[in-house]
């Protein structure tokens, strides 16, 4: 809805469906867990990981009830102020992208959370994952956070595009986030592969990617 500039307007969403213009969006397969019994989930928005698990577990029930939508801003700022970094190795299309993570996101959409435009160059149907690593001093990370809602932080965030992403984790157990759902990994590797245009979706007529 946010990528289509429809906000949270249910009438606009119904009108979009009624017009019947079908497009197709990318879907990400996320594989994690022990090699002998690997688990997987599907993502249509964002896979997130933070050295401080405050961000990874942002939607646990107690925080949802206590903070409401303010939990996005509160948890993000609190996590970044702690200044923690983990020794995660990131590979994009089998090439080392970076080492050390404070807050990492892997998007197929431009937005996550409540309208945070973290990946302004992302397209829903380009067969690419948009990877961003928010890393730097506490001051630099807070500045990135204040600019992320408008997309202006993109030039400050370590980023790349890829069809496959692999995270080599420092521990065999931890928390990451798939489309808002806290997820436990029990293995040192989380891999993501984009499936291009895998899911049909009603789209506004002005959108450029319509089904051929």
Q: Each residue of 28-87: pLDDT tens digit?
A: 999 998 766 789 999 999 999 887 766 555 555 555 566 566 666 666 666 666 656 678
pLDDT at 211 over 60: no
Sheet containing 86-92, strands listed edge to edge, beginning at the edge strand earlier in sequence: 39-43, 22-32, 189-202, 164-168, 86-92, 95-101
pLDDT at position 205 over 80: no
| 12 closest CA partner among 211, 203, 209 | 203
Mean pLDDT of 156-182: 90
The domains of the chain are located at 25-197
Q: In which element (H, E) is residue 13 found?
A: helix 10-19
> What is the reported pLDDT for 148?
84
The pLDDT > 70 percentage for the chain reads 80
What mean pLDDT value characterizes the chain?
83
Beta-bridge mates of residue 48: 105, 177
Q: Which residue has the higher pLDDT, 194 or 186?
A: 194
The closest alpha carbon to 24, from 195, 206, 165, belongs to: 195
- What is the CATH T-level fold of the domain 25-197, as seen in this structure? Tumour Suppressor Smad4 (2.60.200)
- Helix ranges restricted to H, 22-169: 53-56, 61-67, 71-82, 138-147
pLDDT at residue 25 is higher than 70:
yes
**Rg for the chain, CA atoms, rounded:** 17
């Amino acid at each position: 809805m946010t990528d289509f500039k429809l906000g949270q307007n249910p009438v606009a969403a119904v009108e979009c469906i009624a017009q019947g213009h079908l497009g197709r969006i990318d879907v990400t397969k996320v594989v994690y867990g022990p090699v002998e019994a690997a688990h997987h989930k599907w993502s249509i928005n964002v896979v997130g990981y933070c050295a401080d698990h405050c961000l990874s577990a942002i939607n646990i029930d107690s925080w949802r009830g206590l903070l409401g939508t303010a939990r996005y801003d509160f948890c993000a700022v609190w996590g970044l102020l702690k200044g923690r970094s983990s020794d995660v190795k990131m590979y994009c299309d089998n090439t080392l992208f970076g080492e050390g993570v404070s807050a990492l996101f892997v998007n197929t959409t431009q937005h996550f959370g409540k309208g945070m435009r973290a990946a302004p160059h992302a397209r829903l149907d380009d067969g690419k994952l948009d990877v961003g690593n928010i890393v730097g001093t506490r001051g630099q990370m807070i500045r990135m956070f204040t600019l992320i809602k408008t997309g202006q932080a993109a030039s400050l965030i370590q980023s790349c595009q890829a069809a496959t992403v692999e995270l080599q984790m420092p521990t065999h157990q931890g928390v990451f986030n798939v489309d808002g759902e806290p997820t436990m990994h029990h293995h040192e590797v989380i891999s993501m592969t984009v499936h291009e245009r895998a899911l049909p979706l009603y789209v506004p007529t002005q959108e450029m990617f319509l089904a051929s």
